[in-house]
Amino acid sequence: MSEGILLDYRKNYQHLYIKDKYALVSNLVTGLQLPSEAIQGEVLFVLYKISLLRHEKKDDDGIDVLSAYCPKLLHLSLKVLMKTESDDVRLNCVALLSVLAQRGMFVNACTNGISSKDPFEADKFMQTTMHVLDGPSLNLLFAEAIKAPLLSSDTQVQIGTLDLIFLYLSWESDARKQSQILIEENIADYVFENLRLSGCKDPVVSSCLQVLDILSVAEQAFRQRLAIGFTSLVPVLRHVAEVPFHPVQLQTLKLIWNGISNCPGIVSTTHIDEIGVILTGMLKKHLDGLIGMLPETFTIACSVLVALMRSASSRGTSRLAVSVQDAPRNALLICLSLYGNHPNQLLHSLYLLNEAYAYSHEADPTNSSYLELRNCILDAYKTNLLPWFLTSINDIEEDIALGVLESLHSVLLQDSEIQSKDFANVLVSSAWFSYSFKCLGLFPTEKMKRRIYLMFSSIVDVLLGNDCGQLIRDAVTNLPTEPVAMLVVLGQKSINNVDMCLCQYAVLLILHISSFYDDRLADDKIVLASLEQYIILNSSKLLYEAAEQVIVEVLVNLYGLYRGLAKMSYQIPYSHEAEKILFHLMAEKEWDIFHMRIHLTSLKWLFQQETICKSLSNQVLKLCRCNSSFRHHLVVHSHINQNIDVHAIAELVASGDNFGAKILVCLLGELVEEGREEHDIISVLNVVATIVDTFPATSDQLCLHGIGGVIQNLYYHPRLSSSSETIIVVCKLIFGLLGTVQSRSLSGDETWHAVTVKLMDYLIHTVATDGWTQECLIVLGILSLILQHSTSQVLVEASKTILLSDPLVSVINNTIYEACSKGPALADGNEGTKTGECLIFVLLLYYYSLRSVHAIFPGTLDWQSLLDNDSGKRLITVIRIHCHDLCRLMHFGPPMVKLITSFCLLELFSRITDQKSRKSDHLKCRERYLPSLMAIFEGLVFCSDIRVAMNCALCLSVILCWGMQDMETRVIRQNNWCKLIVEELVMSLATPCLTSKSFMVHHKPAVHVAVSLLKLHKVPQWMTCVLDDDCISGIIQNLSSDNVTCEMVLLFRELLNRGYLNSEHIAGLNQVFQGCRKCMYNYQDASTEDDISKVAVISHDPGKVCEFLINLMSSQHSRGFEVRNKGLLEEIELFCKSLTEKDGG
């Protein structure tokens, strides 16, 4: 058509050349009724162009010509669209309808709003229109007309049709009604199908989602269609999530949220997992700055995640918990980082956090996936939300503050006791009470006040239990908003005033909990004054009415704390009357110091008050009764809020600045004197033993306060002393005390002498009747410790009773004789056998008896009498095992017997050497006796147990140093073992790459033998061959500052004195020793020697007792001869001194 061509020629004001516009439009509209699709398409094109022209420029009088023909034009256009099968016609028709829709003509379609310059034409048009409008309504016609284009294979037609639908519904005043009509005509199904077939291509996807979004206003009708088409939304979500600020990102999320929330069961487990992963990824990318996100999109994303967790399909599977684990934290971090720009978003992230935390509890709480989700959320609360809130409290609005408080409060309300308690501790550790009152000062509204005090009550519930927070909840409406005002309320008289009483209880609980974390709500002086005023004014109610046990315990803790703080820092005046009333209350009312929460400062102050020792004694007895297995945990809080157990009481006792030790000793003494129930006595003994085991220093205080006398009374009590269970517990305690107490703390020798007599009687009787029982071995351990203490001149009479006991000597002799008679079979009697255990403890007792005899019977025993039966004389009868028996036991015995007998022999040789040097006596023994001893020692110098090897090497050195001429002659002429020892030593030390520090330690025994040989009056000639210049040079080359030992320096010092070193050797050694000095000055190695007094020794196991005694023996054995424990620096200085003397000579 020529008009179309002309109109398509774009030139301004083309409409001015059309003389009769109404006639033209009328003819064109009439032309739409022609049967030819080609003509219809051209007509539609011309009308489309005219509509664009009219859209740009109306008629001269501002009248739109097309609007006069609106109803007929719309109906005819829709009928053409419905009937045509040509996509070109459809495209022109959709284009025309879209312009008309934009101009609101669908809204006015049924309105006869004609205003024309040509009334004749208008009348004519109305007459011809009436029969055209007969038929279906415009809405139904529109719905039918767009179905075919929606199914068109032409994407442009599809998109145009979808845009037409969007424009059509956008201009409707009642979009809900029009949407419902389209949905009923299945248009939503067509759109979902288009979306499914779109392949997630953007033009189609965007248009479909715009239409679906506007159709969703017809909620009820749309849900039914959404349930069917929901599956097509998930791949689209995956697509739009990858594109920053995608135009339909929000609409997609809204539709998915609508489906999950309002259509139960439509979302499968697979889709839930997939949606969770997509949204978590979106939040992560937004947090990392990789993609942007509109605030509305963020909000609906949080809502979708919540809907997923609330969905029934998410129950029974943990995959969603894994998928969204990081989403709540990421959402929170996004809001915190953008809070200045979008503050209200924080409420949505808090909503997500709360729902996710609740979801982690509603499902299986033991499942690891839910546990990880829960921990992740808790960590977000602790490390992100809480610190931000505390630092930003001055910059946030009240609704945000309330949202944060509600969110934090929700954690406290969950059933998980451990996590709730942990979170409560985190809260109060951050000065939560102070910050809460600050928040209340910023927002002094009733809503804020209620939220804060309810949180306080929940914290009290979690930390104290027993629904103690109800006392705060009952008083919420009457509580003040400031801490100072709370203290004013506390200092009032509340008799016959229930509301005031409840408020005071609430204040006490708040002060009580905050005190554990040093969260001071007011000056200490003011708090103490208020407490004293409360106690004085309400004394009659506290003393003579039924007071809550928790309130009594709170008063005890608070009063003790603030009195203790006053004593620690500065003296605050206090009321003697209030103190007297409180102590009376403690004596009269039921309370339990070991089950309540109490500050360490308060606990210490209470134990420093002698007036309440009786009350505290009853509390300790209560503790012992409730846990006779001595595993009871005392909940005590220090300034860092650390839960500790009996260690707290042990530390109090050990400090010595309180009556803790006196209370324990007096309690046990009273129970024994009164002959109370055996169960009570055993319980107290077990707790005391635990205290000693937990804090060994407590043994000093217990002994200074006379626990020995209590033990004596117990042993001599006619009923208690016959109880085997009591005796076992007492033995365990005695060993713990004597194993950890310092000798100077032991007094009352008569007391311990009496105890020793009873122990000896028990031992002799039990061995005679039942043999060596476990209890007998522990008694031997106790006797060993008594003998050990006698070396410090305490427990002397008790030790004499042990040493001079003929029955005990007889028992020991029988044991040693039986063991020696076994010969090689003795090797089978290790510590795991009854015979082996017995022999080990007897040898330990003998070792300590050797030390004790030297200390308390100086000069009264001829030590040489123990060397050889045929030499010496006996001046005193004591426990004695001859040297040859010890050697036999060491040679044939198992490893532990070898070790103990080697210590016994070294101690014996030390005593013989002391006696020999003091009296200048000649050694008296048979001619071949010493060579036989040497043979034993030589054979064990290379023992795998370095302690046995060292002791045997030292014993061998002692024999060589006794200076007996025949022995020296034998060594020089006949002893090939000594030569072998030295050769092995030199070969090992001179071999490159073998001289590590551990290797050097292994050769310490052989070094002592070599040094002793060098000290002989006449050094064996073979020493010169073994230790020639090349070998010495090789040894020096292998030395470094890392592997030099004291023994090596000692060896080189003796080689220097004997002239074995040349100038080159000395220069090399000086260089090595200089490096050692530098290392030692720059870095001092910590001592590796165990502090035996710190070792826990409380045990029923004889093996543990044996281990302790051996460690004690190893640390305290004699270090005479050339075995002084010099430091490396001291040995180097001695070498340099010898070098100087040699150069000077």
How does pLDDT run across 41-64, given as a tens digit for each residue?
787 887 888 777 655 544 444 346
Helical spans, DSSP H, in 465-569: 470-473, 483-490, 498-515, 524-537, 539-544, 549-568
Does 34 fall in a domain? Answer: yes
CB-based contacts of 627, cutoff 8 Å, min separation 6: 683
Does 18 fall in a domain? Answer: yes
Per DSSP, the residues of 789-830 read HHTTT-SHHHHHHHHT-HHHHHHHHHHHHHHHTTGGGGGG--
As a 3-state breakdown, the chain gives helix, strand, coil percent values, each rounded to 5, of 70, 0, 30
> CA-to-CA distance for 80 and 137, rounded, in angstroms?
15
- Token pair, residue 1142, equals 């040699």
DSSP assignment letter at 1085: P
10 Å Cβ neighbour count for 272? 23
DSSP assignment letter at 106: T
CB-based contacts of 384, cutoff 8 Å, min separation 6: 329, 332, 333, 336
CB-based contacts of 405, cutoff 8 Å, min separation 6: 439, 451, 452, 455
Q: How remote is the C-alpha of 257 from its chain's centroid?
A: 39
Task: Say if residues 37 and 86 touch (Cβ distance below 8 Å).
Answer: yes
Choose one of 142, 172, 202: the last residue of a domain.
Answer: 172
- Token pair, residue 793, equals 């001149």
> CA-to-CA distance for 696 and 787, rounded, in angstroms?
20
Give the three-class secondary structure for 644: strand
Task: Say if residues 1009 and 959 touch (Cβ distance below 8 Å).
Answer: no
> CA-to-CA distance for 804 and 1052, rounded, in angstroms?
47
How are beta strands 636-637 and 598-599 bridged, if at all? Answer: parallel
Residues 509, 512, 513, 518: what is their CA dihedral angle, to the nearest 10 degrees?
Answer: 150
DSSP assignment letter at 1096: -
DSSP assignment letter at 643: E
Choose one of 149, 172, 195: the last residue of a domain.
Answer: 172
> CA-to-CA distance for 709 and 197, rounded, in angstroms?
97
As beta bridge partners, residue 599 has: 637
Give the three-class secondary structure for 636: strand
> CA-to-CA distance for 949 and 955, rounded, in angstroms?
10
Q: How remote is the C-alpha of 118 from its chain's centroid?
A: 91
10 Å Cβ neighbour count for 482? 14
- pTM given for the model: 0.77
pLDDT digits (tens, 9 = 90+) for 549-576: 889 999 999 999 999 998 877 667 889 9
> CA-to-CA distance for 650 and 647, rounded, in angstroms?
5
> CA-to-CA distance for 565 and 605, rounded, in angstroms?
9
> CA-to-CA distance for 169 and 178, rounded, in angstroms?
7
How are beta strands 643-644 and 636-637 bridged, if at all? Answer: antiparallel
Domain that holds residue 938: 927-1093+1126-1144
- Token pair, residue 723, equals 């109880």
Task: Say if residues 955 and 937 touch (Cβ distance below 8 Å).
Answer: yes
Residues 368, 370, 374, 375: what is their CA dihedral angle, to the nearest 10 degrees?
Answer: 20
> CA-to-CA distance for 496 and 474, rounded, in angstroms?
17
Does 73 fall in a domain? Answer: yes
> CA-to-CA distance for 271 and 313, rounded, in angstroms?
10
CB-based contacts of 571, cutoff 8 Å, min separation 6: none
Does 86 fall in a domain? Answer: yes
Task: Say if residues 324 and 356 touch (Cβ distance below 8 Å).
Answer: yes
How are beta strands 643-644 and 598-599 bridged, if at all? Answer: unpaired
What's the total number of domains in the chain? 2
As beta bridge partners, residue 1045 has: none
Does 697 fall in a domain? Answer: no
CB-based contacts of 578, cutoff 8 Å, min separation 6: 531, 532, 533, 535, 536, 559
Map tokens 């550790």 to a residue: 429
Q: How remote is the C-alpha of 1065 from its chain's centroid?
A: 57
Helix axis angle, 295-310 to 269-288, nearest 10°? 150
- Token pair, residue 272, equals 């839930």
Side-chain half-sphere of 1059: how many Cα atoms within 13 Å? 3
Give the three-class secondary structure for 598: strand
CATH for 100: 1.25.10
As beta bridge partners, residue 598 has: 636
pLDDT at 124: 44
What is the end-to-end Cα distance of the chain in Å, rounded?
A: 138
> CA-to-CA distance for 453 and 472, rounded, in angstroms?
7
Determine the Cα angle at 549 with ends 543 and 553, to 5°.
90
pLDDT at 71: 79
Q: Edge to edge, what strands does the sheet with 643-644 contain?
A: 598-599, 636-637, 643-644
pLDDT at 866: 83
> CA-to-CA distance for 118 and 216, rounded, in angstroms?
44
Give the three-class secondary structure for 637: strand
Does 952 fall in a domain? Answer: yes
Does 1054 fall in a domain? Answer: yes
Q: Which residues of 710-749 are buried (b: 16+ CB within 10 A; e: fewer)?
A: bbbbbbebeebeebeebbbbbbbbbbbbbbbbeeebbebb
Map tokens 């409406």 to a residue: 477
Determine the Cα angle at 765 with ends 762 and 771, to 5°.
105
> CA-to-CA distance for 613 and 605, rounded, in angstroms?
12
Helix axis angle, 1029-1038 to 976-990, nearest 10°? 50
Tell which residue, 234, 350, 353, 245, has the closest CA to residue 296.
245
Choose one of 172, 193, 208: the last residue of a domain.
Answer: 172
Does 39 fall in a domain? Answer: yes
Low-confidence ranges of the chain (pLDDT < 70): 1-21, 31, 53-65, 68, 108-136, 172-173, 363, 365, 415, 570-571, 627-645, 829-832, 868-876, 920-922, 927, 963-975, 993-1001, 1082-1099, 1117-1126, 1144-1145
Burial class (CB in 10 A: 0-12, 13-18, 19+), 1135: buried
